[in-house]
């Protein structure tokens, strides 16, 4: 597989073309941002950890029938993935109130909700990723009704699979963000990453935060938290 020109550089990853038009290579960086880029820093070793964790969880999801963009991990930081057109939505699933939801609804962080909540945000940094609903998504043609049904169905299934898997490892899945893409033949697949950058993970026993909130909120112990998640999931 020949790595070719860089197609895109985001906040946490770079994407390269390959000699196969249907595949690209994702390269995970240690750069960390929060609050839509207003806070910047480095989390040493994060790129390696997020690459490994994402692939581990995507393999688990594939084994349970969720199609993903994953092809194969190439190195510590690089993974070969299917080239997709990203649906411009952040698909957020929440089990326990935290972050922006706790703020918006005046709930204490940790408030248990009677059922999971699904939210969509329009991926647009200039607009600060505004929340949108089904009507906006259909009117703006970000996705069709059928695609959106598929996305919602996958999001709840992924929540069930991950919640159960992580619970056995002593990790409570508070909330997380997903992104989906469309392959050349129109299939919706899970893309992007699933990592401590994009999920809230709390230790089931102590409630200790093991995710990017430690960076966002200057809590210290950021690298250790990422390492701890890696160790529980991959045993190393
Ligand atoms: N999230 C993310 N990228 C974003 C916004 C949110 O990965 O641009 C994740 C975040 O890590 C959390 C979940 O989505 O697990 C819900 O985030 P929330 O809306 O509470 O926003 P935040 O408090 O992270 O700004």
Q: Which residue has the higher pLDDT, 1 or 232?
A: 232
Model confidence band, residue 3 (pLDDT cutoffs 50, 70, 90): very high
**Mind listing the pLDDT tens digit for each residue in 128-144?**
999 999 999 999 999 99
Specify the ligand 1 atom closest to the Cα of 200: 15
Dist. CA 34–CA 151, nearest whole Å: 25
Residue 59: predicted pLDDT:
98
Specify the ligand 1 atom closest to the Cα of 34: 25
Assess whether pLDDT exceeds 90 at residue 1.
no
**Mind listing the pLDDT tens digit for each residue in 202-232?**
999 999 999 999 999 999 999 999 999 999 9
Tokens 């697949």, located at residue: 189
Domain(s) labelled CATH 3.30.470.20 in the chain stretch across 87-221
Q: Tell me, what DSSP letter sits at residue 132? A: E
**Mind listing the pLDDT tens digit for each residue in 103-131?**
999 999 999 999 999 999 999 999 999 99
State in Å: Cα 176 to ligand 1 middle. 7
Model confidence band, residue 80 (pLDDT cutoffs 50, 70, 90): very high
Torsional class of 203: left (φ above 0), alpha (ψ -120 to 50), beta (otherwise):
beta
State in Å: Cα 121 to ligand 1 middle. 10
The fold of the 87-221 domain, in CATH, is D-amino Acid Aminotransferase; Chain A, domain 1 (3.30.470)
Q: Which residues of 71-105 are buried (b: 16+ CB within 10 A; e: fewer)?
A: bebeeebbbbbbbbeebbbbbbbbbbbbeebbeee
pTM passes above 0.95: yes
Q: Tell me, what DSSP letter sits at residue 120? A: E
Average pLDDT, rounded, for the chain:
98
CATH of the domain spanning 3-82: 3.30.200.20
Residue 103: predicted pLDDT:
98
Domain(s) labelled CATH 3.30.200.20 in the chain stretch across 3-82
Specify the ligand 1 atom closest to the Cα of 175: 15
């Amino acid at each position: 597989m020949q790595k070719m020109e860089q197609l895109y550089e985001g906040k946490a990853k770079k994407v390269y073309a390959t000699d196969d038009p249907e595949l690209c290579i994702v390269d995970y960086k240690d750069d960390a941002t929060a609050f839509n880029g207003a806070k910047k820093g480095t989390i040493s070793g994060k790129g390696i950890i997020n690459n490994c964790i994402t692939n581990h969880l995507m393999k688990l999801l594939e084994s349970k029938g969720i199609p993903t963009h994953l092809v194969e991990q190439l190195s510590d930081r690089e993974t070969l993935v299917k080239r997709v057109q990203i649906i411009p939505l952040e698909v957020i699933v929440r089990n326990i109130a935290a972050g922006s939801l706790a703020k918006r609804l005046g709930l204490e962080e940790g408030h248990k909700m009677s059922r999971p909540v699904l939210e969509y945000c329009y991926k647009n940094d200039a607009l600060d990723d505004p929340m949108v609903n089904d009507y906006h998504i259909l009117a703006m043609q970000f996705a069709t009704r059928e695609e959106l049904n598929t996305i919602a169905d996958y999001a709840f299934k992924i929540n069930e699979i991950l919640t159960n898997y992580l619970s056995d490892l002593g990790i409570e899945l508070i909330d997380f963000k997903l992104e989906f893409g469309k392959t050349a033949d129109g299939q919706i697949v899970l893309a992007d990453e699933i990592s401590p950058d994009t999920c809230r993970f709390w230790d089931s026993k102590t409630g200790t935060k093991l995710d990017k909130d430690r960076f966002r909120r200057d809590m210290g112990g950021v690298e250790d938290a990422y390492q701890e998640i890696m160790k529980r999931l991959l045993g190393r």
